[in-house]
Amino acid sequence: MASGEGAGLPKSRLVWFVVFLLVQMLVVGVLVPSDFLVRQVQLEREQTAQWFGETMAEELVEATNDRFNRWFVETGIVEAVRYHLVPTQEERAAEPEMDGIAETIFPFVETRLEVFWTVLYQSLQRAQLIAIWAPYMLPIWLPAIWHGFAVRRVKQLSYGYAAPNRFHAAALVLAFLLTLVPAYLMAPLAIPPSVVPLWGFAVAWAGVVIVANLQKQL
């Protein structure tokens, strides 16, 4: 019974993480104004320039623009989505019964589409930022995992105690940190670039604790 309860707890936490992401998507998609989101994108670019310099910030923007255009604009996805969700003036004129909703519903849909594409653009830019930080985080993660195996080996040789409570706590922390990635990508607020390496340090710490407290017999 105890093991079943212990196994069920992470699943319930994971459900709450998923609910949080869904609520975030709903709030961003329905409530966040498009002009506010654009200002946050610009503010985050300024923060990136302060961290990496104007040259790298411009390269980040250019790379993001290139990917967004190649993946969504040049492929016709942006236009196709708009075509299926927002009728043209000719289509509205051909159906007079649409006049009642055209002035209310369709402008709202257009602004929500602007928010959607802006969030997607910002997600691509943040993914690029993670890629920039990745080479600096790998020299932290690899020694951390190696250190965790070394600690586990010492415990094996000295008959030390592999604490299951530390293992499960660190596993929950790691699951939470991984869930933060999509939350970070979709966040409607400007987030300083320093958040990424701080997240990397937290992942390294959780990995050390998990590996160091693995069961002695795998």
Q: What is the pLDDT of residues 131-180, one digit of tens each?
A: 988 888 888 888 888 877 887 777 766 666 666 788 888 888 888 898 88
* Range 192-197 average pLDDT: 92
Considering the domain boundaries, does residue 217 fall inside one? no
Considering the domain boundaries, does residue 183 fall inside one? yes
Considering the domain boundaries, does residue 182 fall inside one? yes
Q: Which helix (H) or strand (E) holds 162?
A: none
Tokens read off for 126: 């943040």
Cα three-residue angle 19-172-200, rounded to 5 degrees = 95
Considering the domain boundaries, does residue 74 fall inside one? yes
Considering the domain boundaries, does residue 156 fall inside one? yes
Q: Which of 68, 60, 30 is nearest to 44 (CA)?
A: 60
Segments forming the whole domain that contains residue 43: 2-212
What is the distance between the alpha carbons of residues 170 and 148, in angstroms, rounded to a whole number?
Answer: 12
- CA torsion 114-118-120-121 (nearest 10°) is 140
- For 2, half-sphere exposure in the C-beta direction (CA atoms, 13 angstrom radius) is 2
Considering the domain boundaries, does residue 97 fall inside one? yes
Distances (CA, A) of 175 to 17, 18, 202: 9, 11, 11
Considering the domain boundaries, does residue 218 fall inside one? no
What is the distance between the alpha carbons of residues 83 and 92, in angstroms, rounded to a whole number?
Answer: 13
What is the distance between the alpha carbons of residues 214 and 17, in angstroms, rounded to a whole number?
Answer: 25
Distances (CA, A) of 168 to 60, 135, 204, 210, 213: 38, 29, 16, 8, 9
Q: What is the pLDDT of residues 65-100, one digit of tens each?
A: 999 999 999 999 988 888 877 766 666 666 666 666
Which residues, at least 6 apart from 199, have a Cβ–Cβ distance to it below 8 Å?
177, 180, 184
- Overall number of domains in the chain: 1
The confidence band for 103, taking pLDDT boundaries of 50, 70 and 90, is: low
Q: What is the pLDDT of residues 21-50, one digit of tens each?
A: 777 777 777 778 888 888 998 999 999 999
Tokens read off for 60: 């980040």
Residue in this structure with the two tokens 């990745």, named with its chain if needed: 134
Lowest mean pLDDT among 54-63, 155-164, 192-201: 155-164
Considering the domain boundaries, does residue 99 fall inside one? yes
Q: What is the pTM of this model?
A: 0.76
